[in-house]
Amino acid sequence: MNYHISDRMASLQPSAIREILKATSDPSIIPFAAGNPAAEAFPAKEIAAISAEILEKEPITALQYSITEGYPLLRESIKDFACRHENLFHGDDALITCSGAQQGIELTTKCLCNEGDTVICEDPSFIGSLNTFRSYKTNLVGIPMEEDGMNLELLEKALKENPSTRFIYVIPNFQNPSGYTTSLEKRQAIYALAKQYGVMIMEDNPYGELRYSGESVPSIKSMDEEGIVVYCGSFSKIISPGMRIGYVIAPQPLLAKIIVAKQASDVHSNIWAQMVCDRFLRSTDMDAHIAKLNDIYRRKVSLMTSCMEEHFSKSVRFTRPEGGLFLWCDLPEQVDMMGFCNQAVQNKVAVVPGIAFAVQPGSHTHSIRLNFSTPSDEGIVRGIEILGKMTQEF
Amino acid sequence: MNYHISDRMASLQPSAIREILKATSDPSIIPFAAGNPAAEAFPAKEIAAISAEILEKEPITALQYSITEGYPLLRESIKDFACRHENLFHGDDALITCSGAQQGIELTTKCLCNEGDTVICEDPSFIGSLNTFRSYKTNLVGIPMEEDGMNLELLEKALKENPSTRFIYVIPNFQNPSGYTTSLEKRQAIYALAKQYGVMIMEDNPYGELRYSGESVPSIKSMDEEGIVVYCGSFSKIISPGMRIGYVIAPQPLLAKIIVAKQASDVHSNIWAQMVCDRFLRSTDMDAHIAKLNDIYRRKVSLMTSCMEEHFSKSVRFTRPEGGLFLWCDLPEQVDMMGFCNQAVQNKVAVVPGIAFAVQPGSHTHSIRLNFSTPSDEGIVRGIEILGKMTQEF
C-alpha cells in the first residue's frame, strides 16, 4: 500500500548521515558521534536508594495517573534549582515539567507556529530541534554562528525580511554542535532585537551547568522583563537522560497552551521519574554534584584536545570549548568532508559530519563534530590517533 | 503581551467541564469523573523488586539515552503479550513503544493528516484523542455510537462525502465514554469499508484486557491483511499509567515516519520504565494477573450498578458494560444535564457531562459518564445514593 503521509512529515527525510549515526551502536566503533553523558557521571546509587524509598512509601502516587503540568513538588524544586544563581522568573512566568527539553521545544513550536511561519536559528544548530521545527513545516532561516554567537547584522536582516518570524532559537551556552558560547553583549543584543521586532526567543540551555573553565554568562531569560523568552532546561546532562525530565519556563498565557498541547501529546511525563528527580534535587548539594561532573568532563576534553594537538594536522582548526560535550573541527576547504566521515567509520571511529547540523540541507560545510563525553579515555586516545593519521594524509 | 498562538492550538479551547474535572483532585469529592485504575490494582511490590534489580545490575542502561523505537527486549515481550490470543502482525507490521497510547495516537495523526484532512470518529468518543485530532486542525466527523458500534450507514455516507478522510478512529472494546463494545460483524464491516474507500483505521484498545463477562471479540487489527490498521495499545490499565508505556503496531513504511516524529517529539520514552515493563511481562503470568484485576473491577461495577438499580429513578437508562472502566447514563430528555453535573459537584460527587465527549462541541447530549474504578467501595455506595436522590427529583 502507498501510505498517505502528511506534508509536514513527508518532507522530513531520513538523513544521509543515518548510517554513520547507526554505527554508534556498534561497540567495536569508537563513539565520537554520540552525545551521551559519561557512564561514570550517573548518580546511580543515589537514584536507586531514592527510587526504593518512593516505591516503598508512596507507590500509588508513583504508579498512578498524574497531572499534565508536572509533579507539584518537582516544579518547586526545579524553580529553586534553576534560580539558585540568577532569576529566571519575571511577571507571570510559570514552569511545567516535560519529557526532556526536546518535548519543551516541540510543544512550544506547536503552540507558536503555523505552517509557513519563520523560525530563525543559529547555523549550524542542534539537529533534533531543527527536525522539530521542520516537522511543523516552518520556514527555517539560519544565521551564521560566530565564536561569540550569531551574526547580529544578519539576524536583523532576517528579522526585517521575515515578518512572520515567531521566534529566534538559541543555544547560548556551549552550543551543539559548535561548542561556542554567546557573549553577554550578543545576548543583550538578541534580546533587544527580539523586543524591537516583536518576536519571541526560545532559549535552549541543556549544557549550561557543564562549564569547565571561564566565567558563566547570564541567561537571556534572566533579562526577560517583557515576557518574550521561553526557557527550556533539562536534567539529561546532570542527572540522567534516560529518565527524560526537562522543563519549560514561559509566560502563563503561553504556558497554558503548552499544557493543553502536552495533554494531547502524552497526558503527563513518567511520574516516578519526576518524584526521583525531585528527591534528588532536594537531597543533593547540586553545586558540589555538578562540580564532580565537570571534573570528569574537564579531564576528558583536555585529554581529547591534547591528543588532537599531538596527532592532528595543523591544517585542522578546532574549538576549545569552555563547557558542554562537543568539539567542532574545521577540515581544510579542499577535503571531502563526507568522504572523511565515511572513512573514519571504516577505521572504526564514528564522527558526525557538520552537514547534519546545517539549517539548509544543501549547505556547504567542511566541519565535523566530535563528542568527548561518551568514549572511554582509552577510546579518546586511540580514536584521535586514528583520525590524526587521516588528517596527516590531507 | 499578546502572544501569537498557532491556529491549531488557538482553536483548542479549555473546555467548559474543566472546573468539574478539577474537582476530582479535591479529596472530599467522590471521584466518579476520573478514569484512574484502582489503587489496589497496581503490582507495586513486584515493580519495586524489578526496579531495584535493574538499578543494581544495569544502572547505566536504565539511566542513559536509548533508541527512539523503544527498548528492544520490551518490543519483543510486547509482541509476545499482544499476540498471545490473536495475531496482530501481518506483512511488514512492526512495533514501537511510546509514552502511553496517547502518544501513539498523536504521532500517527501527525504523520497521516494534513490540516483540513478528515478523521472519522465514533460519537461520543474519548476526549483525549479528539483533542489530539483537533490539535492538528483536522476536520472531525462523528458517527453516532450504537450499542454494537458505530452506525454503518452513516459511516459509509461520511466516507463518501469526505474524500480526504485519512482514518477512522475506533475504540472497539468497552468504549470510552459509552462502555459499548463493537460487535464482530461491525468490526468486519468497518474494515471492509475502510478497504473499499482506501482509508486507514486507528484501533485504540486501552481497555481490551479488562473484560469481566461475555466473550472477547477479535480485534480489527487481527483481520488486517491489507496493512491499513494502526493498533494502539497501553499498559496504563493493566500495569501502571504513571509509567507511561504504550505501543503502536503499524506497517513498516508508516512506522518509519512515526519513529522520525517521535524522535522530534521526545527522543525516546523513559528507558527505566520500559525495562521494568519488559521484566514484568516476562516474569508474570499475565492472564492470571489480569484475571485478578478483573475480579476487582467486576466487583466494583456490580456494586455500582446494583446501587444504581436501588437508588436511581427509572427514567435514567444506563449501560451495563462487559468490561472497561465506565458507565454511560442517559438522563431524561427534559433534564438540564450540565445543571445536574454542577449540582452533583455541589453535593460532593464529580461526574463528567457527556458533552465533553461530543465530536462537535455544540452537540445536544443528555448523558453523563460515571467511573467505577477510582472511587472506594464506600465512595461508590455513598455517591450513588447522592446521585440517586437527585434523579428522584427529576
- Over residues B62-77, the pLDDT tens digits come to 999 999 999 999 999 9
Candidates A113, A230, A265: best to mutate against B (most CBs of B within 10 A) is A265
Q: How far apart are CA A63 and CA A272, in angstroms?
A: 7
Distance (Å) from the C-alpha of residue B38 to the closest C-alpha of chain A? 9
Residues A23 and A51 in one domain: no
Which of A247, A263, A283 is a domain's end point?
A283
Residues B51 and B168 in one domain: yes
Task: Answer yes or no: do B270 and A113 touch at CB < 8 A.
Answer: no
From B1, B10, B103, residue closest to A226, measured CB to CB: B1
- The β-bridge partners of B140 are B119
Residue B171: name the closest of B216, B223, B122 by CA.
B122
Candidates A13, A272, A277: best to mutate against B (most CBs of B within 10 A) is A272
Rounded to 5°, the CA angle A373-B275-A243 comes to 45
Q: How far apart are CA A38 and CA A376, in angstroms?
A: 8
Residues in chain B: 394
Residues B302 and B250 in one domain: no
Which residue numbers in chain A have pLDDT < 50? Answer: none
Residues B87 and B196 in one domain: yes
Residues A172 and A70 in one domain: yes
Q: How far apart are CA A366 and CA A204, in angstroms?
A: 25
From A44, A59, A226, residue closest to B44, measured CB to CB: A59
Is residue B213 situated within a structural domain?
yes
| φ, ψ of residue A199 in degrees (nearest 5) | -115, 165
Crossing angle of helices B252-266 and B100-112, rounded to 10°: 110
Range of the domain at B371: 15-43+288-392
Average pLDDT, rounded, for chain B: 95
Please tell me whether residue A317 adopts helix, strand or coil conformation. Answer: strand
Residues B314 and B380 in one domain: yes
* Mean pLDDT confidence for B205-232: 97
Rounded to 5°, the CA angle A223-A154-A102 comes to 55
Q: How far apart are CA B175 and CA B165, in angstroms?
A: 22
Hey, which bits of A52-138 come out as E strands?
93-98, 118-123
Residue B203, domain CATH: 3.40.640.10
- The β-bridge partners of A167 are A119, A200
DSSP single-letter state for residue B296: H
Rounded to 5°, the CA angle A172-A126-A208 comes to 35
Is residue A150 situated within a structural domain?
yes
- Over residues A119-170, the pLDDT tens digits come to 999 999 999 999 999 999 999 999 999 999 999 999 999 999 999 999 999 9
pLDDT at A394: 85
Q: Is the pTM of this model over 0.90?
A: yes
Q: How far apart are CA B344 and CA B323, in angstroms?
A: 25
- The β-bridge partners of B246 are B98, B234
* Mean pLDDT confidence for B277-303: 97
B208 dihedral zone (left: phi>0; alpha: psi -120 to 50; beta): alpha
Distance (Å) from the C-alpha of residue A102 to the closest C-alpha of chain B? 5
- Over residues B313-360, the pLDDT tens digits come to 999 999 999 999 999 999 999 999 999 999 999 999 999 999 999 999
Is residue B5 situated within a structural domain?
no
Using a CB-CB cut-off of 8 Å, the residues of chain B touching A228 are 1
Hey, which bits of chain A come out as E strands?
30-31, 93-98, 118-123, 139-146, 149-150, 165-170, 200-204, 229-234, 246-251, 317-318, 326-330, 349-350, 352-353, 367-371
Is residue B154 situated within a structural domain?
yes
Distance (Å) from the C-alpha of residue B390 to the closest C-alpha of chain A? 30
- Cβ–Cβ under 8 Å, residues A220 and A170: yes
Residues B297 and B386 in one domain: yes
Crossing angle of helices A337-346 and A377-392, rounded to 10°: 130
Residue B358, domain CATH: 3.90.1150.10
Is residue A7 situated within a structural domain?
no
Using a CB-CB cut-off of 8 Å, the residues of chain A touching B111 are 5-6, 9
Task: Answer yes or no: do B39 and A60 touch at CB < 8 A.
Answer: yes
Which of A230, A253, A283 is a domain's end point?
A283
User: Exposed/middle/buried for B248, CB within 10 Å: 0-12, 13-18, 19+?
Assistant: buried
Is residue A263 situated within a structural domain?
yes
Q: How far apart are CA B294 and CA B30, in angstroms?
A: 22
Task: Answer yes or no: do B270 and A243 touch at CB < 8 A.
Answer: yes
The chain A residue lying nearest B5, using CA atoms, is A112
Is residue B1 situated within a structural domain?
no
Residues A335 and A223 in one domain: no
Task: Answer yes or no: do A63 and B240 touch at CB < 8 A.
Answer: yes
Model confidence at B16: pLDDT above 60: no
Q: Please report the ipTM that was assigned to this predicted complex.
A: 0.96
Residues A161 and A279 in one domain: yes
Q: How confident is the model at residue B2 (pLDDT cuts 50, 70, 90)?
A: confident
- The β-bridge partners of B200 are B167
Residue B142: name the closest of B127, B133, B160, B154 by CA.
B154
pLDDT at A21: 66
Distance (Å) from the C-alpha of residue A347 to the closest C-alpha of chain B? 24
Is residue A10 situated within a structural domain?
no
Please tell me whether residue B250 adopts helix, strand or coil conformation. Answer: strand
Which of A283, A301, A325 is a domain's end point?
A283
Q: How confident is the model at residue B12 (pLDDT cuts 50, 70, 90)?
A: confident
Pairing of β A149-150 and β A165-170: unpaired
Residues B227 and B167 in one domain: yes
- Over residues B189-216, the pLDDT tens digits come to 999 999 999 999 999 999 999 999 999 9
The tally of domains found in chain A comes to 2
Residues B313 and B246 in one domain: no
Residues B254 and B165 in one domain: yes
Neighbours of A39 (CB within 10 A): 15
- Cβ–Cβ under 8 Å, residues A375 and A38: no
Q: Could you tell me the CA-to-CA distances from B151 to B143, B182, B329, B355, B361 in Å, in that order?
A: 6, 10, 20, 19, 20
